[in-house]
A = this chain, B = another copy of it.
């Protein structure tokens, strides 16, 4: 006997992405087998290869689509006509909201870079650098306007992004602080770190 129920191409495709994302985030790319993914989808392992040429493509697909979503969402949200201070606050709040809503995708995008082939790594790095560039541009604008006191915008960019992304390692929705409170706290730290007067 072959299949037990009907054909679900439109459903199976996304399901595979979701299952892969969940499992890669939980156990790591190398520790997850194609059979585990297939089981979670509710399908036999052979069927996966109707949707992806191989395991590596599954990984790089998750990473690039995450980063592309991130870039698109920020470009939509950014009001480039605002003051640098306003844009920085917007960026801060956007970044931690976007990231805390996608812990699995974020985890994979940071942790599995070493499992990418060189070409795929380069593709992903280009996207990441574009995002970092968006923040750095704001910091440079703030320095030009005389509002920010930043010794080195590149280092400040890396420092701020690391600080914000670190939220994912500890924040829990049912913890001591609400997300809104945490957002305010992080914005306070970012504002201070760029020397922005109150």
Contacts and interface: CB of A to CB of B under 8 A. Distances in A.
- Specify how many copies of this chain sit in the oligomer: 2
Interface stretch (A2-10, A46-54, A63-71, A187-195): A187-195
A161 B166 contact: yes
Contacts of A163: 159-160, 162-163, 166
Contact of A185 (B115, B155, B161, B169): B155
A122 interface: no
Interface of A: 26-31, 111, 114-115, 149, 151-152, 154-156, 158-163, 165-167, 169-170, 176-177, 182, 184-186, 188-190, 192-195
A150 to B, nearest CB: 9
Contacts of A151: 184-185, 188
A5 B170 CA distance: 48
Contact of A30 (B28, B152, B158, B193): B28
B156 A26 contact: no
A158 B170 contact: yes
Contacts of A154: 176
13 contacts: A27-B114, A28-B28, A29-B31, A31-B115, A149-B192, A155-B182, A155-B189, A158-B169, A159-B189, A162-B163, A165-B166, A166-B166, A193-B193
A168 to B, nearest CB: 9
A176 B158 CA distance: 14
A28 B108 CA distance: 13
Most B Cβ at <10 Å: residue of A29, A158, A195: A158
Most B Cβ at <10 Å: residue of A31, A155, A161, A169: A155
